[in-house]
Amino acid sequence: MIKLIVQLSSPSLLRSVSVDLNNDSSLLIDIPDALCERDKVKFTVHTKTTLNSFQKPDFSVSRQHEDFIWLHDTLVETEEYAGLIIPPAPPKPDFESPREKMHKLGEGEATMTKEEYTKMKQELEAEYLAVFKKTVQVHEIFLQRLSSHPNLSKDRNFQIFLEYDQDLSVRRKNAKEMFGGFFKNMVKSADEVLISGIKDVDEFFEQEKTFLLDYFSKIKDSTAKAEKMTRSHKNVADDYIHISATLNSIAADDNTALKQHLEKFAELLEKLRKVEGRVASDQELKLTELLRYYMRDIQAAKDLLYRRARALADYENSNKALDKARLKSKDVAQAEENQKQCLLKFDKLSESGKKELTSFKGRRVVAFRKNLIEMAELEIKHAKQCVILHSTCIDLMDSSFIFAVVQVRGRR
Instruction: Pick between residue 36 and residue 224 the one whose CB is nearest to another protein.
Output: 224
Query: From CA 310, how far away is CA 304, in angstroms rounded?
Result: 10
Closest separation between CB of residue 30 and another protein, Å? Answer: 29
Query: From CA 275, how far away is CA 278, in angstroms rounded?
Result: 5
Instruction: Pick between residue 51 and residue 365 the one whose CB is nearest to another protein.
Output: 365
Q: Are 231 and 100 in contact (CB under 8 A)?
A: no
Instruction: Pick between residue 59 and residue 211 the one whose CB is nearest to another protein.
Output: 211
58 Rama sector, left if φ>0, alpha if ψ -120 to 50, beta otherwise: beta
Closest separation between CB of residue 358 and another protein, Å? Answer: 12
Q: Are 290 and 368 in contact (CB under 8 A)?
A: yes
Closest separation between CB of residue 189 and another protein, Å? Answer: 23
Closest separation between CB of residue 377 and another protein, Å? Answer: 7
Closest separation between CB of residue 153 and another protein, Å? Answer: 28
Q: Are 58 and 82 in contact (CB under 8 A)?
A: no
3-state helix/strand/coil string of the chain: CCCECCCCCCCCCHHHHCCCECCCCCEEEEEEEEEEECCEEEEEEEEEECCCCCCCCEEEEEEEHHHHHHHHHHHHCCHHHCCCCCCCCCCCCCCHHHHHHHHHHHHCHHHCCHHHHHHHHHHHHHHHHHHHHHHHHHHHHHHHHHHCCCCHHHCHHHHHHHHCCCCCHHHHHHHHHHHCCHHHHHHHCHHHHHHHCCCCCCHHHHHHHHHHHHHHHHHHHHHHHHHHHHHHHHHHHHHHHHHHHHHHHHHHHCCCCHHHHHHHHHHHHHHHHHHHHHHHHHHHHHHHHHHHHHHHHHHHHHHHHHHHHHHHHHHHHHHHHHHHHHHHCCCHHHHHHHHHHHHHHHHHHHHHHHHHHHHHHHHHHHHHHHHHHHHHHHHHHHHHHHHHHHHHHHHHCCHHHHHHHHHHHHCC
Q: Are 304 and 353 in contact (CB under 8 A)?
A: yes
Instruction: Pick between residue 160 and residue 380 the one whose CB is nearest to another protein.
Output: 380
Instruction: Pick between residue 162 and residue 287 the one whose CB is nearest to another protein.
Output: 287
Closest separation between CB of residue 134 and another protein, Å? Answer: 20
Closest separation between CB of residue 310 and another protein, Å? Answer: 25
Closest separation between CB of residue 97 and another protein, Å? Answer: 16
Instruction: Pick between residue 350 and residue 371 the one whose CB is nearest to another protein.
Output: 371
Instruction: Pick between residue 151 and residue 232 the one whose CB is nearest to another protein.
Output: 232
Closest separation between CB of residue 243 and another protein, Å? Answer: 5
Binding residues for another protein (CB under 8 A): 211, 214-215, 218-219, 221-222, 225-226, 228-229, 231-233, 235-236, 239-240, 242-243, 246-247, 249-250, 253, 256-258, 261-262, 265, 268, 272, 361, 365, 368-369, 372-373, 376-377, 379-380, 383-384, 386-387, 390-391, 393-394, 397, 401, 404-405, 407-408, 411-412
Q: Are 268 and 390 in contact (CB under 8 A)?
A: yes
Closest separation between CB of residue 405 and another protein, Å? Answer: 5
Instruction: Pick between residue 127 and residue 155 the one whose CB is nearest to another protein.
Output: 127
Q: Which residues contact 190 (CB under 8 A, 6 or more apart)?
A: 302, 303, 306
Closest separation between CB of residue 411 and another protein, Å? Answer: 4
